Structure 1
Amino acid sequence: MIRDVEEFVKFLDGLRKRTMQYVKVVPNSILEWKPAEDKFSTGDLLRHLGSSQLMFLNVFEHGKWIYPGHESSKGEKIEEIVHYLEVCHARLTEGLLTLGNDLLAKKVPTLHGHEVSSWRIMMALAEHEMHHRGQLSTYLQMNGIEPPQIFGLKIEQVEKG
């Protein structure tokens, strides 16, 4: 359970910092690439990471799930997408800090309409980012781009026991 919104925001900042290490190695040349016709393109996936933060914030602020979309108007080039991600993350963290610890006592709806403690949706927000960061890592590898190491080492560099 989350007990302090400010500590959670610090955690989210670290999570986003690690995600941005992956985003910053994405070249413009693969933004339209997708693994299958019915899947996110790389650009869609990145824009989704920003838009979903606004979606989660809307649940906390207004109790409604509203997704702002991931269309290319939110960024066509990687520099524009990076800016969009930064703006969305700043809006999320400012919103969470404004809501403060009162948020933790609040019940919010799930996507299926039943109410849960807000900290459960806060954890889903973090899990969502981690899921899509892993997806981005796969997209990079499928395009011949070595993704950064999340904590600085490859598993082969860790001492075997």
Structure 2
Amino acid sequence: MEITSINTFLPYYDKIRERTKRLLAVVPSDSLDWAYKPGKFTIGDEIRHIATIERYMFAETVAGRPSCYRGCGKELADGYDAVMAYFDQLHEESMAIFRALSEEDLQRKCTTPGNATMPVWKWLRAMVEHEIHHRAQLYIYLNMIGVKTPPMFGLSAEEVAAYTKPE
């Protein structure tokens, strides 16, 4: 899917973020430091990572600047309220950059941290895929610690099956 209008992309991306926020709302405040294995991202790291990558890699790159992503550790925000505020703050900063993009900017080439060049619209599409990837990891993490997670689109797979009429 080619992104040809920033005015249609932004509402779409808002819906992606709304689904992520619904999931973050069920994260237990005492579980931010949980990881499935030593040395892997904690739940808090995952949340900070989504925020910092969006702001300091994707937004900077589409603005024509190099990535300034430096990680996602607790030094950026620690504690449930601080992590959620940080997540929202960086998203607002990113959205200000994205709102300034024109349709012509979407076709302009940007250079990724891996030194690949691609149209800005493709980089924005990669950003959405990145968020969805990490949101899926959070779903798994939360399920591993016994947290009931919200269905992504309103119904769980079991509810869809229950509503489906046999042939």
Asked whether the two chains share a fold, i.e. TM above 0.5, the reply is: yes
Q: How large is the Cα RMSD of the aligned pairs?
A: 1.4
Unmatched tracts of structure 1, length 5 or more: none
Q: Does the Cα contact within 8 Å between 1:6 and 1:100 map onto a contact in 2?
A: no
> How far is 1:151 from its partner?
1.1
* Count of residues paired in the alignment: 161
Overall identity of the aligned pairs, in %: 30
> How far is 1:116 from its partner?
1.0
Match of 1:147, as an amino acid?
T
Correspondence for 2:87: 85
Match of 1:27, as an amino acid?
P
> TM-score, normalized by length of structure 1?
0.94
Correspondence for 2:5: 4
Unmatched tracts of structure 2, length 5 or more: none
Correspondence for 2:120: 118
Moved >4 Å (runs of 4+): none
Q: Which has the larger displacement, 89-98 or 129-138?
A: 89-98
Judging by fraction of residues, say which structure has more helix: 1
Residue 146 (structure 2) aligned to one of 138, 144, 159: 144
Residue 60 (structure 1) aligned to one of 59, 62, 65: 62
Distance 1:147 1:98, change over 3 A: same
Partner secondary structure for residue 81 of structure 1: helix
Match of 1:31, as an amino acid?
L
Q: Does the Cα contact within 8 Å between 1:18 and 1:150 map onto a contact in 2?
A: yes
1:78-121 deviation line (CA, Å, top 9, x unaligned): 22111111111111111111122232121011332121111111
Partner secondary structure for residue 116 of structure 1: strand
Give the distance between the partners of 1:40 and 1:154, measured in 2 at CA. Answer: 27
> TM-score, normalized by length of structure 2?
0.90
* 2:121 paired with 1:129: no
